[in-house]
Structure 1
Amino acid sequence: MFRMSNRKVLLMILDGWGIGDGQKGDVIAQVHPAYISEMTRKYPHAQLRTDGENVGLPDGQMGNSEVGHLNIGAGRVVYQDLVKINRACRDDS
Structure 2
Amino acid sequence: MKPLTRTNRITRRGPLVLVIMDGMGIGRETEGNAFYLARTPVLDRLMRDRMYTTLRAHGIAVGLPSDEDMGNSEVGHNALGAGRIIEQGARLVSRAIKSGAIFSSAAWKQLTEGPSSGTSSLHLI
Task: Say yes or no: TM over 0.5.
Answer: yes
Is 1:15 aligned with 2:22? yes
2:63 is the counterpart of 1:56? yes
The CA deviation string for residues 9-47 of structure 1, in whole angstroms up to 9 with x for no partner, is: 111111111111101211110113111111122353210
TM-score, normalised to structure 2, is 0.62
- Paired amino acid for 2:93: I
1:70 matched to 2:78: yes
Q: 1:83 Cα deviation (Å)?
A: 0.7
Aligned mates of 2:90, 2:72 — CA distance in 1: 15
- In 2, Cα distance between the equivalents of 1:45 and 1:56? 23
**Identity of counterpart residues, as a percentage?**
35
Cα-Cα RMSD: 1.8
Deviates more, 1:65-74 or 1:25-34: 25-34
Q: Cα deviation per residue 1:39-93 (whole Å; 9 max; x = unaligned)?
A: 1223532101111111111221111111111110001111112212323444566
1:29 aligns with 2:33: no
Q: For the residues of structure 2 that align with 1:53 and 1:43, how far apart are their CA atoms?
A: 26
Large movers: runs of 4+ above 3 Å: 88-93
Measure the CA separation in 2 of the matches of 1:45 and 1:87. 34
